[in-house]
Amino acid sequence: MKKFKRVFLIVLDSLGVGALPDAADFGDEGSDTLSAVMSSPYCDIPTLTRMGLRNIDGSKLSPFIMPSASYGRAAELSRGKDTTIGHWEIAGVISKKSLPTYPDGFPDDIIAEFSRMTGRGVLCNRPASGTEVIKQYGEEHMRTGSLIVYTSADSVFQIAAHEDIVPPERLYEYCRAARKILSGENAVGRVIARPFAGKAPDFYRTPRRHDFSLTPPGLTMLDKLSVAGYDVIAVGKINDIFAGRGITDAIPTVSNKNGMEVTDGIAARDFRGLCFVNLVDFDMLYGHRNDTDGYAKALSEFDAWFAGFCERMKSGDLVIVTADHGCDPSTPSTDHSREYIPIIAAGEGAPRINLGTRCTYADIAASICENFGIENVYGTPFFGGEE
């Protein structure tokens, strides 16, 4: 198979394609994000359908005859179902131990130390919806200056503050303080700044979110590529997820639309290496809010953009579309779901085959490493052979 000069790896955040065999251990038995989204009358994805998204092993959807790309699904070896662990495994790092979660809130000693370091009180300290928590505690926060600290089913320490009370840069300082506290057995995957604005009862989150992640516990394909002299361009929250490691250029985004526009701009550049994209709206705006129709509309918008992107691809380009976990909007839960992730791989000269069910998300990293002729981190390449 020919080698590709540029690889575009696009993560449709949370677009799982069916529950993993151990999903019941995580409370996610029966979850299937793609099937739920496809049930909406607003879902129109002819491009992904032609490429084989409906043909993936285990799919409950009617298949497309003779798909135009390689297609498959991958299981997660890591113990988790969150953004950090999912992206790390995509990049070749397997997390054998789950990151800590706090269904009853954070321990008193952590909250006391955080309050001491910031000089502010703490409100909430329990799992909560990001939109509901500012409705419930926003006015008290503005009156007292206390910070809204909350978590979820994921390994996250989230800090919400109104931009008029705590400017974003100050909020980021507080997050860095929390990141220092949350180490050892309390090393959560991400500390997340959640700035908001507006007046009660119409508070709203602003686009100045920022994630402060753990450093990956092992070498990733990003490390391998950048050391070998290849470009590693991060779009969206990719730079945050990997704590900037192995990345040569980072471009934050504020929405799916912005992420797609940025990706178009990068495609117009002359680079050699990887463009790693995360489109977070699927998860943040629709999966977590159980908005099936909104999810379907967003996926349809991506599909329409993707059709044009594929037409503009050059002969030395490969594009891989995948996800990092599930977030089924049709289930009672508003949390992530433990699911297989899709793999769609297309490019001039690339095979058009059923990739089957891969044993690990890390087969994506293995395939990218194999393409660029660098040492594999973990996993098995999708396809090999000589140019």
pLDDT tens-digit readout, 307-357:
999 999 999 999 999 999 999 999 999 999 999 999 999 999 999 999 999
149 belongs to a structural domain = yes
Shared domain for 74 and 220, answered yes or no, is yes
pLDDT for residue 139: 98
* Averaged pLDDT score across all residues of the chain: 96
Eight-class DSSP state of 289: T
Instruction: Indicate whether 90 pLDDT > 70.
Output: yes
Q: What is the pLDDT of residues 230-242, one digit of tens each?
A: 999 999 999 999 9
Shared domain for 162 and 238, answered yes or no, is no
Task: Indicate the range of 70-74, 78-82, 231-235, 290-294 predicted with least confidence.
Answer: 78-82
Instruction: Indicate whether 386 pLDDT > 50.
Output: no
What three-state secondary structure class fits 42?
coil
Compute the distance between CA of residue 56 and CA of residue 32 in angstroms, rounded to an integer: 13
pLDDT for residue 387: 38
The whole-number average pLDDT for the span 189-207 is 96
pLDDT for residue 97: 87
Of 159, 117, 127, which Cα lies nearest the Cα of 141? Answer: 159
Shared domain for 223 and 366, answered yes or no, is yes
Instruction: Indicate whether 217 pLDDT > 80.
Output: yes
377 belongs to a structural domain = no
Shared domain for 367 and 265, answered yes or no, is yes
Q: Do 339 and 373 form a contact (C-beta atoms < 8 A)? A: no
The whole-number average pLDDT for the span 32-51 is 98
pLDDT for residue 384: 65
Q: Is the bond preceding 201 in cis, omega lying within 30 degrees of 0?
A: yes
361 belongs to a structural domain = yes
Virtual CA dihedral for 155, 102, 176, 170, nearest 10 degrees? 110
Task: Indicate the range of 251-255, 339-343, 370-374, 381-385 predicted with least confidence.
Answer: 381-385
Shared domain for 141 and 116, answered yes or no, is yes
Shared domain for 355 and 301, answered yes or no, is yes
Shared domain for 223 and 159, answered yes or no, is no
339 belongs to a structural domain = yes
Compute the distance between CA of residue 299 and CA of residue 291 in angstroms, rounded to an integer: 12
CB atoms within 10 A of CB 118: 20
- Tell me the pLDDT band of 180, cut-offs 50, 70 and 90: very high
pLDDT for residue 385: 46
38 belongs to a structural domain = yes
Shared domain for 254 and 334, answered yes or no, is yes
189 belongs to a structural domain = yes
102 belongs to a structural domain = no
pLDDT for residue 16: 98
Q: Which two tokens stand for residue 249?
A: 């250029």
**If 0-12 CB within 10 Å is exposed, 13-18 middle and 19+ buried, where does residue 365 land?**
buried
Give residue 360's domain range. Answer: 6-97+214-371
CATH number of the domain enclosing 157: 3.30.70.1250
Secondary structure percentages of the chain, helix, strand, coil, to 5: 35, 20, 45
pLDDT for residue 1: 61
